[in-house]
């Protein structure tokens, strides 16, 4: 699946385009956000779902804050739960609890943007792109408190995706890539690292070991930095 994701992402960014991939089930990609959202949620095949999801991420990342706020408002208006259907399902289950009834409640209780985020996450670098998306979402929540409903769902998904059991512990030393070392300097908040020389002084001693936790979907992002003396 990851190979397929990478191939599609490369095609999306390359010059050959989707026609070279020979997929007749993928229609023209829309740069209009609402249409791009609809395409993702209506896609039925693995390939089309990934292609449309990659396109939507590209569209979203090109929006300014006002345009993104309009997209989020559209999600609230069109993809929220159907409260009446949920209440009816709960009433039915209360009088006749069945497995099928429980499934109906579970489906009715989940807003449509949850499935949208799952499909976006399936793309190459989808997880890290959703993390950056949430940064923007939280900024918009200051003036749009209703967006907290979208954020709460995304938080639940991120907690599942960042389950501690998925994290990988890797040693950090001076031979670690500069990209990762630079991020450790920027991210360290408990004991601030003021310079490259300061970082080297922490990594160099023989009686000290440094490690970082990484997520498989974000191999170049040190999520937690640990120093052991």
Answer whether 49's CB lies under 8 Å from 15's CB.
Answer: no
Cβ atoms within 10 Å, residue 195 = 9
Q: Which residue has the higher pLDDT, 30 or 74?
A: 74
Q: Which residue has the higher pLDDT, 225 or 146?
A: 146
Residue 93 domain flag: no
In this structure, the answer to whether residues 184 and 224 fall within a common structural domain is yes
In this structure, the answer to whether residues 64 and 135 fall within a common structural domain is yes
Residue 62 domain flag: yes
Domain of 57 in residue numbering reads as 2-80+110-161
The Cα 55–Cα 67 span in angstroms is 16
Cβ atoms within 10 Å, residue 150 = 25
In this structure, the answer to whether residues 183 and 119 fall within a common structural domain is no
The Cα 36–Cα 44 span in angstroms is 15
| Strand residues in the chain grouped as ranges (E) | 168-172, 209-214, 224-228
Residue 200 domain flag: yes
CA nearest to 173, candidates 202, 148, 145: 202
- pLDDT digit string (tens) for 119-166? 999 998 899 999 999 999 999 999 999 999 999 999 999 999 988 888
The Cα 97–Cα 100 span in angstroms is 8
Q: How far is the CA of 61 from the CAs of 48, 74, 147, 199, in angstroms?
A: 20, 17, 18, 33
Residue 16 pLDDT more than 50? no
60-69, 135-144, 208-217, range with the lowest pLDDT: 208-217
């Amino acid at each position: 699946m990851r190979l397929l994701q990478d191939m599609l992402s490369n095609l999306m960014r390359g010059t050959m385009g989707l026609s070279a991939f020979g997929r007749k089930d993928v229609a023209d990609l829309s740069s209009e956000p609402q249409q791009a959202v609809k395409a993702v949620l209506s896609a039925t095949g693995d390939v089309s779902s990934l292609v449309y999801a990659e396109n939507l991420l590209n569209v979203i990342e090109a929006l300014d804050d006002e345009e993104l706020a309009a997209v989020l408002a559209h999600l609230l208006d069109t993809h929220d739960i159907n409260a009446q259907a949920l209440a009816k399902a709960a009433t039915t289950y209360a009088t006749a609890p069945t497995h099928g009834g429980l499934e109906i409640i579970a489906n009715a209780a989940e807003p449509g943007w949850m499935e949208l985020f799952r499909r976006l996450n399936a793309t190459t670098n989808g997880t890290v792109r959703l993390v950056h998306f949430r940064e923007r979402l939280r900024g918009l929540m200051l003036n749009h408190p209703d967006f907290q409903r979208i954020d709460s769902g995304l938080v639940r998904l991120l907690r599942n995706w960042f389950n501690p059991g998925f994290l990988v512990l890797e040693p950090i030393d001076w031979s670690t890539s500069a990209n990762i070392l630079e991020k450790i300097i920027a991210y360290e908040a408990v004991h601030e690292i003021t310079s490259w020389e300061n970082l080297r002084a922490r990594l160099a001693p023989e009686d000290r070991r440094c490690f970082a936790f990484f997520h498989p979907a974000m191999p170049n992002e040190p999520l937690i930095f640990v120093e052991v003396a």
